[in-house]
Amino acid sequence: MIASALSSGVTSIYSGVKLLESSAQTIARQSITSPDPTATSPGTQQTGTSGQVSSVWDMAEPLVDQRQALYQVQAGAKVISTTGKMLGSLLDVFA
C-alpha cells in the first residue's frame, strides 16, 4: 500500500513535469512581437513581417497548462510527504 502511494506521487510529479515541458515548448514556439496597428480583429496581432497572425488565446492555454502542471507536481509531492509521515507513524506503533 505504501509503495503504491509513493508510486502515485512520483507518477503525478512526472506527469506534471511533462505537462510543464510541453506547455513551455508551445510558448517558446509562439512568435509574438510588438502589435501591428493594422491587425484586423481584436485579440489578434500581426507578428513580424511574415504576415502570420497570432491570437492572444494561443498563449492562454499553455499558461493555464503550466499552472495545472504546478498544482499536479505539488499534489504529488504532498502524497509523497504524507506517505512518509504515515510510514513513520506505522514504525512508531510497531516499535
Grid coordinates given for 82: 504524507
Res 39: pLDDT? 56
Q: Is residue 27 within 8 Å of residue 63, measured between CB atoms? A: yes
Q: Would the pTM count as exceeding 0.75?
A: no
Helix (H) or strand (E) holding 12: helix 2-29
Res 51: pLDDT? 46
Give the whole-angstrom CA distance, residue 24 versus residue 59.
Answer: 10
Q: Is residue 11 within 8 Å of residue 19, measured between CB atoms? A: no
Q: At what angle do helices 2-29 and 57-94 cross, to 10 degrees?
A: 160
pLDDT in tens, the chain (95 residues): 778 999 999 999 999 999 999 999 998 888 665 555 565 555 555 555 444 555 666 789 999 999 999 999 999 999 999 999 998 888 888 87
